Structure 1
Amino acid sequence: MASGTSTLPLLVRAFPFFYSYLPPWEARSLRLCCKDLAHIGACHCFKGIVFHLYKPDFERLRALADHPVISKHIIAIFYEAGSLVINGVNPYLDVNPEPAEAYLDEDEYRFETKDIGNRRRVHNCEENWLPRGAFDNLPITKEDLGGNYNQYLRAVDHQAQILWNREDYRLFEEVLPKLKGLEEIVVNHSIPVHPSPYDCFFAQPGSEMGAKQLQAVVHGLQGSELQLRSLCSRLIPPTLINARLFNQIARSCKGLTSLSLDFASEDYTDYSDEIHIHTEHTRRMIDTQIIQDCLKELSSLEYLSITFEAPRKLDFLSSLRGLIAPGFVWKNLREIQLSFIETEREELFNFFELHRSTLKVIRLHHCKLTTTSWVKLLWQMKGALDLNDICISGRVMGRSESGESHPDLKQLYDNNGYQIWWFGSPDNPAKSSVTAGITAWFLHDAPFPLVSGIQYDTASDDEPDDDSEGECL
């Protein structure tokens, strides 16, 4: 072999295989070794990108989109879109609010320093603008908190300028068409699930401005010619249920195989009036079939999740037919998740039966059968469906039908004649004997749990008190 010959080309060809087994941070460090590894790493190290409502993150995303190799290999982006801007500032207005409307005042902010989760998060930040010993006080004193609070005000201004100047709209309009391999977008309007540049503050980003962030993403998808496969939006306000946005989703995302929409409740203080307004607004918008018309255009769906966070646990915010057109079939639907819906046994069973050849996973949370029986529905489903998993959770309501006799269930009737069970939390279904029992009965022929001799989870550790004002999914 000639003296100039090297085995490096063979190693370079093998490195894509090695890269696939490395965590992203290790793979990115190898890119610094040589030009060949830098090129290979560019193909494998940036498949998933997380960014926040934060200008430096916007610039980093622009740089990645302009890279000739990286831009082609980004598969998923996760937008932490939660905003520190508060107090119901209208996201549809193009005028800046009065500064006082956008911030927690100093007393409100100081109150947040008593929360153990907030204290732990801020304490773990390398820079939090708090003097030594600040955490010895509960709440933290105004003197100690001053530096941190001033930085919080600057952060709110920073985000407000992005939103009111529509910098996010320009970002997605510019960047998304360059990400030719992009398949998945997640927009989270709630508390961040990834490390955030705003972790150093006692206030956490929330969903008050969520409508505008998702609109910015969908705006960028228009004309991008992306073949997006998955779209997930978490805790978006119900004001987002409008024809313009859902028409844009239907036009820009026809190839979706996975859609997940999680609608937040409004944070009202006058529960006697405002909760009723919130519920009726949501129902009215759903009854216009805006969501239904959009879903009919997404004919390739394999996974569908539409969930609501209701301000009262017995508010059922949508009928099934308001979301899904009766008789409509997705030919490849494998998994369905619904919450806070009101329907009837026949309607829900007909939907399941139409999809029996493909449907493998069902998740229902806080659901109501208006005049019909859950017992009959469950037996119908078991006889007709071949599932890999089923989870029924939360507060489940129904009525007895003719021919049913369940004297042991009388204790579960409320004053309006409804049977009501608390099936436990969807986050920990094994904790509920009824939820776990339904799953075991359905999948493994265990005894049917809604009969005498089984302890009902009419009250569990996860259930709010009957007089609770609200509930979070």
Structure 2
Amino acid sequence: MVPTKTNQTGTPEDSVTRPNINHLPSELLHMICVYLEPRDIATIRILDRIIAEVGLQYLVSQIHLIPKPDSFDRLLAVAEHPLASRYVNSLFYEADLLRSFRHPEEDRELWEKSLVGPSHASPLEEVQDPHFASACGHLPKRYNRGTSAVVLSHQQHYTKRELQRAYQTYRSYRAEQHRLNESAAYEEAMVRAMKRLPHLTSIFISCERGNTNHFRAAFEAGLCEDVTSDPRMADQICASQLSLLLSAADKAGLQIKKLICGSLGQIFLSCSLERLDAMQRSIQSLHNLHLFFSHIPLEFDSNAASNPHGSSSARADNMQFAMSAPNLETLSIRFDKDRALDPPDLKHLVSDFHWSYLASATFAKMSTGSEILVGFCDRHAGTLKDLSLTDISLYSGRWATTFYEMRQRLKLDKMALAGIIQSVEGDYWNFEIGDHTTKLMIERYIAYSDETQRDLSLGRFIMDFRQALAKRWAPHRPSGLSAVA
């Protein structure tokens, strides 16, 4: 007879009640999953199928898609899963492509210069540091010898066979991406997947540099995780993939509520009228729209109107994109002004359109007239609670008058100013390096809710604010400081 095992208290081990994750209430399971990584959630799901439904809500709520066939296979697998497909609510498409070099004969050489690895840094050019000018002559040579050693370090880490294998893998990755983009089955697969994801309401798409760890790991075998597309091509890639995603969403009958898109450029919405209509239909239910333009589109350029080769219909379509979503609650439009000679005009983006539910608006790196900005505030005075302005230039009017008119119309919970705020009349504030107290005072001036002081001018408000601030800190001023002042 086999003796019964007992614990330290002498109680038979079989009779001891053990904690079981299956017996945990669903509320506690949700709290656990919030703090776990997806990899850990997957392990729990395998060990205890009872909590699979809770774990899946955190495991597959967002699908991370990259331009690689097996990534699309995973998307279809999740979409065809009877349980997992119910919990997918967002799609993040990291659409950046591996770089395709212009000259095939230089392809291998340029690829090697872009290598990354544990013992390799990107090639560095010889740098003539100005500090070396006053130093002895051997220092620059020693410095440049060190640079050359870094450049050649990949030869010490990778054998010729490993380099050849990695280069062939890199070429195969590029060929896969080319076939993926050229194939009509790519769009058909996207439509088929979206039709089986009824709760997909958010789309994020980006081609910005500095890819995610997931993107880099996917192409690690080709030693090309950092060999991404030319930044000048990112806008074309992002615009074409955005067009495809929204067209697929329209065919699938989805109601997209949130759209975040980065790296757009001058071919934004440059597609067929049929595709354009589908894109505009797909965003009719949008509540949140965030657009970032890495290149200034011709249709937003004030000089585009005089360009005989420009398409007025294309410019009009681009201007109407945000207006195709009448139920917007959040609108964010940002530009990369560092890459523009002439900042885009706000009137080309909002015109005289009225979003009935708009509560938050963000405009960055563009120009506007005082009457355009005040008109926007006037139309949305009843709903707008959050306004952010970054690097805005007035080509007509003064900021003091504009701020006063905004103050008369708005009742904001939050006002934010950032970057350089200037006008052709000579107003200039640089809030990146300037007086943060002034920034705070202007923000509070616009959002001030006291009806009895609503008619105060900006100058008077700042004066009163500074006096109140001085009185508040007077008791804490060190003795003798007031006498010196």
SS at match of 2:259: strand
Alignment CA distance shift 1:112-1:421 (3 Å) = farther
Contact 2:270-2:314 at 8 Å conserved across structures: no
SS at match of 1:359: coil
What is the letter of the counterpart of residue 399 of structure 1? V
1:392-440, Cα deviation, whole Å (9 max, x unpaired): 333433133xxxxxxxxxxxx5xxxxx454443xxxx999666555435
Give 1:158-173 correspondences, 5 Å limit: 158-173=176-191
Contact 1:12-1:37 at 8 Å conserved across structures: no
1:274-333, Cα deviation, whole Å (9 max, x unpaired): x9889969996698321343333311100111222245455212x22322231x221211
1:27 maps to what in 2?
A: 41
Paired with 1:434 and 1:114, the residues of 2 have a C-alpha distance of 46
1:187 maps to what in 2?
A: 205
Q: Which of residues 244, 248, 262 is equivalent to 2:278?
A: 248
1:336 maps to what in 2?
A: 361
1:61 maps to what in 2?
A: 75
**1:11 Cα shift?**
3.6
1:154-175, Cα deviation, whole Å (9 max, x unpaired): 3322322211224542331111
Alignment CA distance shift 1:14-1:174 (3 Å) = same
Give 1:232-381 correspondences, 5 Å limit: 232-242=260-270, 244=273, 245-265=275-295, 288-310=315-337, 312=339, 314-317=341-344, 319-326=345-352, 328-381=353-406
Paired with 1:253 and 1:221, the residues of 2 have a C-alpha distance of 9
Does 2:229 align with 1:227?
no
Paired with 2:116 and 2:47, the residues of 1 have a C-alpha distance of 47
Q: Which of residues 395, 403, 416 is equivalent to 1:391?
A: 416
2:228 maps to what in 1?
A: 204
SS at match of 1:387: coil
Does 2:141 align with 1:139?
no
Number of residue pairs matched?
A: 393
Paired with 1:38 and 1:13, the residues of 2 have a C-alpha distance of 11
Paired with 2:277 and 2:408, the residues of 1 have a C-alpha distance of 38
Paired with 1:242 and 1:313, the residues of 2 have a C-alpha distance of 20
Larger deviation, residues 385-394 vs 370-379: 385-394
SS at match of 1:180: coil
**1:232 Cα shift?**
1.1
Structure label with greater radius of gyration? 2
Does 2:72 align with 1:42?
no
Does 2:281 align with 1:216?
no
Give 1:434-445 correspondences, 5 Å limit: 435=439, 438-439=442-443, 441-442=445-446
Q: TM-score, normalised by structure 2?
A: 0.68
Paired with 2:308 and 2:61, the residues of 1 have a C-alpha distance of 40
Contact 2:398-2:423 at 8 Å conserved across structures: yes
SS at match of 2:391: strand
Paired with 1:348 and 1:293, the residues of 2 have a C-alpha distance of 18
Alignment CA distance shift 1:430-1:35 (3 Å) = farther
What is the letter of the counterpart of residue 242 of structure 2? L
Structure 2 unaligned runs (5+)? Answer: 1-14, 123-146, 450-457, 464-485
Q: Greater share of helix residues, 1 or 2?
A: 2
Contact 2:363-2:390 at 8 Å conserved across structures: yes
What's the C-alpha RMSD, in Å, of the aligned pairs?
A: 4.2
SS at match of 2:321: helix
1:461 maps to what in 2?
A: none
Contact 2:187-2:248 at 8 Å conserved across structures: yes
